[in-house]
Amino acid sequence: MPVGNKYKKPDLADEKIRYNMIKLITDKYKKIEVSDIELNSSKSLMPIEIFDVIKNMYPKDEVFFIMGADNLYKITEELQNKYNYIIFERKDCAISEEIKAKANFTIISNKKYAHISATDVRTRIRQRNLNN
């Protein structure tokens, strides 16, 4: 689920563009659904609100929230214990042994791509556009 335009971050592409990019990547997978909940909300939603809405939409399904390890600090202990997560390791972002031991956390270690972040991609695109 891409964050909506109400989330203020420099150089963030429009929510509809980000939503469509994610859809293009995931449409071939039947068990992955991209949500536009935050895009259609009249206010910026807190993670607990979003997670609760999604879990209520799919009460019988096992729902996972996917994020980079650099965003773990934003997840409260309540959220950490209440939901399932797939966490992608990031360069220069240590994941505590306590988190790694949680049964509801799956840690994806990909050394080849651990240095890549959305911020890095936006910076590279901006630099490329400036050089053309």
pLDDT tens, residue by residue, 65-105: 888 888 888 888 888 888 999 998 887 788 888 888 889 99
Q: Measured at the alpha carbon of residue 78, what is the angle toward residues 86 and 66, in degrees to the nearest 5?
A: 15
Token code pair at residue 67:
């994020």
End-to-end CA distance of the chain: 32
Separation CA 96–CA 6 (nearest Å): 31
Look up residue 68 and give its amino acid: G
Least confident of 29-33, 53-57, 100-104, 116-120: 116-120
pTM of the complete model: 0.68
Separation CA 119–CA 91 (nearest Å): 13
Q: DSSP label at 56?
A: H
